[in-house]
């Protein structure tokens, strides 16, 4: 299994541009999520999905959209990039959406810079 994969690894955008960060998992996990990590901080949840066709907002959803058309894929869209969205973005998945023994598997991250 490849686990959780993310593309691209690095991206530079200009303010106002849009782009999609890709995330895929091959473990048939129900739950997928997107986090952002800023320097010296922990992870903050942007959006999550508990299954195909079901998404919900996390702590910091503004400026981002998600969709979950398949179990495997969970893309994150930046609608109009802003410098405040400069961050490292991590995608994660887990077997179910809240079992007491669930742990999350993380992708390698996408480092995004918005100029």
Partner 1 sequence: SQQGEEDPQALSIQEGENATMNCSYKTSINNLQWYRQNSGRGLVHLILIRSNEREKHSGRLRVTLDTSKKSSSLLITASRAADTASYFCATHSGSARQLTFGSGTQLTVLP
Using CB under 8 A, pick the residue from 59, 80, 84, 113 that binds partner 1. Answer: 59
| DSSP 8-state symbol, 73 | B
Place of tokens 């079901």: 54
| DSSP 8-state symbol, 63 | T
- For position 27 contacting partner 1 by CB under 8 A, the verdict is no
Q: ∠ at Cα 47 (85, 21), nearest 5°?
A: 55
- For position 64 contacting partner 1 by CB under 8 A, the verdict is no
In the complex, the smallest distance separating the C-beta of residue 115 from partner 1, rounded to whole angstroms, is 21
The CA distance from 49 to 7, in Å, is 19
In the complex, the smallest distance separating the C-beta of residue 56 from partner 1, rounded to whole angstroms, is 7
Q: Which residues contribute to the site for partner 1 (CB under 8 A)?
A: 4, 31, 33, 35, 40-45, 48, 50, 56, 58-59, 90, 92, 97-98, 100-109
């Amino acid at each position: 299994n490849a686990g959780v994969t993310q593309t691209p690894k690095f991206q530079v955008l200009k303010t106002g541009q849009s782009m999609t960060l890709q995330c895929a998992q091959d473990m048939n996990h129900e739950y997928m999520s997107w986090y952002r990590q800023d320097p010296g901080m922990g992870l903050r949840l942007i959006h999550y999905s508990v299954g195909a066709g079901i998404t919900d907002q996390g702590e910091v959803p503004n400026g981002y959209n998600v969709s979950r058309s398949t179990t495997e894929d969970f893309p994150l869209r930046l609608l109009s990039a802003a410098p405040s969205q400069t961050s490292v973005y991590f995608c994660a998945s887990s077997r179910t959406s809240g079992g007491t023994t669930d742990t999350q598997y993380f992708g390698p991250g996408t480092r995004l810079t918005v100029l």
